[in-house]
Amino acid sequence: MTVQLAWAVQEELETLLDGSGHLRTLAFLYASKGMSSKALAIWRILARNYSSGLWKDPAAENGLDDGNAYISSGREIAATEASKILEDSSDQDMVLQHLGWIADVNQVLAVRVLTSEKRTKQLSPDEVIKAIDPKKVDILQRYLQWLIEDQDSDDTRFHTLYAVSLAKTAIETFEKEHSSKSLDSRRLQGVNDTDIRRDSIFLSPVRERLQIFLQSSDLYDPEEVLDLIEGSELWLEKAILYRKLGQETLVLQILALKLEDSEAAEQYCAEIGRPDAYMQLLDIYLDPQDGKEPMFKAAVRLLHNHGESLDPLQVLNTLSPDMPLQLASETILRMFRARLHHHRQGQIGHNLSRAVDIDARLARLEERSRHVQINDESLCDSCHARLGTKLFAMYPDDTVVCYKCFRRQGESTSVTGRNFKEDVLVKPGWLVSR
């Protein structure tokens, strides 16, 4: 009887609130009773029909004079309350059903719903990606970023999709920033480059996010991304991708000629770790192709920083006849001096090594040829039997044993228990004095 009465009161209250237009209060009532679907339906109605007067909020009406701001604020409130319900829900169908209208109001709230960790069962990434509006690129990118960085997803599909999506956005942004129409409009309107995508939910520029991801992930398909940006001006991104593919020459050409970043080019040569990489970079500077003038200053910088590791004769053969000698003469002279110095150092090191080897051989010979005197009173240090005319052996620590004990002990461990393989014995006479 009590339960029936409670339901009757609730139904009467719902009818009263619905009839009087207090849908906001009714939505809160449904939410408190766990009737999420009904609550969400009301918040959706309020968000879409706010200007029609369905929302009864006198406090908000009196506090906002601007009609547009009033409507916008009301929609934000509806989306916020709906997102709170969806963040806790594991009902995938219900979440994806209401994702669209929440995203239309506020993309940050939509991302919060998709990436919520309050729910007991996470949503299917494949279904979520299908449900995201293709025009809402920021939501897709933020969700993929969450999957990869926060959920440690190693699915190559998601890594490639994220890289491709970032690349597309980067190309679009770059073209907008560098189009003459965009430049003229920004001059007239006083709009900065950073305002082009002012509605983005990201704080960092898209190219920065793209470059960081391309460098940090090894799970995306670099060829697919490269096919997309091949005809664009995203040269640093191309260098990163060519590096992933092991195309050293193309990386050096981009760093040296397109970006004119000598420091980055030299650093890449250092990472390659071969002297021929520096020679290859020198060739690029001196013969840049496509009618471009030789980059003599960059070439001199390279010789100045890394000339000591290069072959002077090979460098001389590579230098262009048009290169002013005064630019490189001092550097080349220093290369020859360094080469001669290294050669002499090598000779000294070789002779010292040879001397050490001779000393070691001599010490070993002396140790092997030293004599041991045995008399009638000499005893085996292990079994204490008289040695007499028996065969015997002597360990490096000068202990003497009969051959029988030697067979039992082995050649590595003496009577004292010392293992000469693990605890090497070094006598003063064995040390090299040079």
pLDDT of residue 185: 56
Residue type, 44: R
Domain boundaries, the chain: 1-122, 336-430
Position 3 confidence tier, pLDDT thresholds 50, 70, 90: very low
Residue 19 confidence (pLDDT) above 50: no
pLDDT tens digits, residue range 380-411? 988 988 888 888 888 878 888 898 898 888 88
Contact predicate 402/380, CB 8 Å? yes
Enumerate residues 6+ apart whose C-beta is below 8 A from 103: 109, 110, 132, 133, 136, 139
By the 10 Å C-beta count (0-12 exposed, 13-18 middle, 19+ buried), 404 is classed as middle
What predicted TM-score, i.e. pTM, was given to this entire model?
0.68
Closest CA to 302 of 336, 327, 337, 324: 327
User: Per mean pLDDT, which range of 114-118, 190-194, 310-314, 319-323 is the poorest?
Assistant: 190-194
Per-residue model confidence (pLDDT) at position 431: 53
**Comparison of pLDDT for 199 and 256, the residue scoring more:** 256
Task: Give the mean model confidence (pLDDT) for residues 114-124.
Answer: 95
> Does 434 have pLDDT greater than 60?
no
Q: How confident is the model at residue 14 (pLDDT cuts 50, 70, 90)?
A: low
pLDDT given for residue 231 in this prediction = 93
Which of residues 197 and 225 earns the better pLDDT score? 225
pLDDT at residue 195 is higher than 50: no
Q: What is the pLDDT of residue 346?
A: 79
Give burial (CB, 10 Å; 0-12/13-18/19+) of 79. Answer: buried
Confidence (pLDDT) at 428:
59
Per-residue confidence band for 9, with pLDDT thresholds at 50, 70 and 90: very low
Task: Render pLDDT for 329-374 as a digit per residue (tens, 0 to 9).
Answer: 666 666 666 666 666 777 888 888 888 888 778 877 777 777 778 8
The angle subtended at Cα 306 by Cα 305 and Cα 308, nearest 5°, is 120
Query: Quick one: average pLDDT of 320-325?
Result: 67
Cα–Cα distance, 176 to 199 (Å, whole number): 15
Range scoring the smallest mean pLDDT among 33-37, 85-89, 91-95: 33-37
Q: Considering the chain, what percentage of its residues have pLDDT values greater than 90?
A: 43
395 contacts 414 by C-beta, under 8 angstroms: yes
Per-range mean pLDDT, top range of 192-201, 289-298, 333-342: 289-298
pLDDT value for 332: 66
**The pLDDT of residue 1:** 41
pLDDT over threshold 80, residue 50: no
Q: How is residue 134 written in tokens?
A: 């293709």
Write the pLDDT tens digit of every residue in 217-273. Answer: 999 999 999 999 999 999 999 999 999 999 999 999 999 999 999 999 999 999 999
Residue 175 has pLDDT above 70, yes or no: yes
* Sequence-ordered list of residues with C-beta below 8 angstroms from that of 381, at least 6 positions apart, any chain: 399, 400, 401, 415
pLDDT of 280 = 94
Q: Please, which pLDDT band fits residue 109 given cuts at 50, 70 and 90?
A: very high
